[in-house]
Structure 1
Amino acid sequence: MNNKNLNSAQQQQLVEIGLKLNQVRTAKNISLDTVSANTRITKRLLKAIESGNSEELPEPFYIRALVAKFAQEIGATGIEFIFQSSKDTEATEKTTKSHTERRYWLNFQLRSLHLYLLYILLIVVSVKIITSLVESPVIINQVPEENPTANSEVQESEATAQIKQPESAPQFVSQSNNSESVIVGINLQERCWLKVMVDGKLAFEGTLPKGTQRQWTGEKQVTIRAGNAGGVVISFNNEQQKILGAPGEVEEITYTVN
């Protein structure tokens, strides 16, 4: 029978160590009586060590000391009985299991956090894209009134690209006798394409949404050309407002100073 204090791995280790000690001792022609006399270890225990008979041996702690002393006496280097009590083995298994569970939990938390951050990022990007599409302003090209000499290369938006402008539109001229300048204001009741000339220079050309209010001032004249005259309410030198023309019609009017 085996020592009840040894597990199977320790028992196998004891058998291998006993075989090595026997081989070294036999090769050096050293008798067990000599080893016993020099180490004060009984011959019975020495035989038990060589044969791996753990039943004849004490607890693992003492087996380790006996093996070390036996090996030193016969000059067998690198031979050591490594033992671990059942309590130590159980504690080691619990520690290993705890570390494994903790590592698994940390990995799970990290993966969950990464997925959550990715989800938040996708929501933020989606909201920004939707907001930019909904709130995208009408693109218009306008020459600043402060710099009327700047180069003004204008393109109509897609909404007004389908409006075919006639080669000539009815033109009306309105004059002011009581002012040294021309002030023209517009209030759009419908989406409309406009072209504005101030003193012979392009001041604005583009599409404006419903509800837009604008005003231009010229020293000599202001010309307004509208693609949907029925949606344009116009005023001249802050006088009473009037509708420029019929809905869907292209109208052009010029306001001048005598």
Structure 2
Amino acid sequence: MSIGNANSPEEERPSTDDRPSIGHVLKQARIRAGLTVDEVSGTTRVRIPIVHAIEQDDFSRCGGDVYARGHVRTLARAVGLDPEELVERFDADHGGRPAPTSAAPMFEAERIRPERRNPNWTAAMVAAIVAVIGFVGFTLLGGTDADRAQPVAEGSASPQPAAPKPSAKPVAPAAEKPDPSDSAIAAAPRDLVTVKLTADGGESWISAKDHNGRLLFDGTLQEGDSKTFTDKESIDLVLGNAGAVQLFVNGQQIKDEFQPGQVERLTYTKDDPQPEEDAAQAG
């Protein structure tokens, strides 16, 4: 029986080679990039305790190997590393890549309750103004017709026609703001960020927010379904079973090779995809 302090997770795991561990590589890359754990957490949306645990090669707080793989991939990208190399090392250390599982049960814990929408008072006021203007116009036109229909007594002078009253100019109702379209977005507006998702390889759980953090969608896309989201600044996405999703940003297809069962947290702006991303995709 050995006596002493309990071994850390890094000491308990048998070393297969002399390379630094995954957590050590991520931590050193973060330090070289001049980033704090708080900054990495804010960029990737991986909680601070989980970032600390991964940098210490403790993946037990990730909630399973599928989540751990997704966190390793996300953190690697945030600190400027090749995510595929670290994910392959993680798979080798944890029994290989896990088989794809149903998206909805996996991400039930990440679902966010939809916000209760406030009444659209602007649309109600516009409708009320249009109704008042229409009523006034109808009253004016109806009064003119009634004056014309009055009989003239025999022998009396024919009344001079009254000057026509100006009719109220119809006011067209304000155009309602269109909902995000599910059609193709080849002509995406340049002053908005437009993101289109299509589940073409199975079902996938999706969460989307605008730049204010307001929830735009939270649910499962069945195979063949599409969703389009727009915002004036940015769209934040969480994709479950990302390998089943075809993604277009501002009219251009994002060709990242997402894997089945993979969790992706993404943010896109009006300037995406960046030129260097296009060059990497072309290569």
TM-score, normalisation: structure 1: 0.32
Larger radius of gyration: 1
Which one has the bigger strand percentage?
1
Which one has the bigger helix percentage?
1
